[in-house]
Amino acid sequence: MEWLSTFFLVLVVVCAIAALMVRDLLAAVIIFGAFSFFSALYFATLGALDVAFTEAAIGAVITTVFFVTAIFRTIRSSKS
């Protein structure tokens, strides 16, 4: 089971680096959502299911939806 938590931790680090390196804002938000999802899976493999559920709900879903909505509102208001 230790290899699985190491695998998710590596995916978290890869997503963090990718989110910093990408130039497109929407792509960075999607990668950030994946970062939160892999963080939730990492917490679940460690046995912290309450933290994993909170990270999945808030980090991977709600925050990503808010960021995408803000990006599209900014694009729409700049075109007007």
Could you read off the pLDDT of 10-32 as tens digits, one per residue?
999 999 999 999 999 999 999 99
pLDDT of amino acid 1: 72
pTM: 0.86
Longest dimension (CA), the chain: 53
Total domains in the fold of the chain: 1
Q: Exposed, middle or buried by CB within 10 Å (0-12, 13-18, 19+), for 8?
A: buried
H helices of the chain, in order, are: 2-21, 25-46, 49-54, 63-79
Q: Is residue 35 a contact partner of residue 26, using CB atoms and an 8 Å limit? A: no
Question: Residue 26's domain spans which residues?
Answer: 1-76
Length of the chain: 80
For tokens 């978290």, the residue is 12
Band of the pLDDT at 75, cuts 50, 70, 90?
confident
pLDDT one-digit tens code per residue, 35-69: 999 999 999 999 999 999 999 999 889 999 999 99
